[in-house]
Structure 1
């Protein structure tokens, strides 16, 4: 689904998953390879447990989340764990899309890349520094 698509109805979770797949395919191969095995899922909103864990009061405050062990903390000696997961939250993304006027594909791509950065061990502060350099 190319950027600039006009939506007659709110995009579904499947629409956002398709945008995320397209964005993921455009990431340079070495980065894609390093994220291989991580699941990319679209959910409607973060659950109450996630909101409490993140110190957030409203589900629309969180557009994405990385769940797993960052590559910087992994060891070959570790016992197998659950697969790393990148969650994209549909409703908060759509709220930001409407409020910002940002192209939906670019917004989904930015959330995906932000969460992939967490997979590589970047903190929120580190990501903010990188985004400020661009």
Structure 2
């Protein structure tokens, strides 16, 4: 298992998000990215989870809603290294 603080991991996630090409980040409208240490207990190897309305399902009704959520789970990532 790789030793990495939560702060170091969050910095790497931020750097990775910054490297996403602009044409793709424009499509990430109303999406928030979070880092958590552990995935849900029923799926301990889960690396990340998207919760929300996929871009392909958004229609004219899609306004005034809470942001979709991408959660990246730190411990399964550092355990895989």
Please indicate, yes or no, whether the TM-score normalized by the shorter chain is above 0.5.
yes
Higher helix residue share: 1
Tell me the matched-pair count: 80
Q: Give the alignment partner of residue 77 of structure 2, picking from 93, 105, 114.
A: 93
Q: Which stretches of structure 1, 4 residues or longer, exceed 6 Å deviation after superposition?
A: none
Paired residue for 1:102?
none
TM value normalised by structure 1 = 0.53
Sort the Cα spacing of 1:33 and 1:11 in 2 relative to 1 into closer, same or farther, 3 A: same
- C-alpha root-mean-square deviation of aligned residues, in Å? 1.8
Cα deviation, residue 79, structure 1: 5.5
Secondary structure, aligned partner of 1:11 = coil
Sort the Cα spacing of 1:15 and 1:39 in 2 relative to 1 into closer, same or farther, 3 A: same
Paired residue for 1:31?
24
Higher strand residue share: 2
1:21 aligns with 2:5: no
Q: Please, which runs of 5 or more residues in structure 1 have no aligned partner? A: 1-8, 98-134
TM value normalised by structure 2 = 0.83
Task: Kindly indicate whether structure 1 or structure 2 has the higher relative contact order, using CA contacts under 8 Å at least 6 residues apart.
Answer: 2
Paired residue for 1:104?
none
Paired residue for 1:105?
none
Q: Please, which runs of 5 or more residues in structure 2 have no aligned partner? A: none
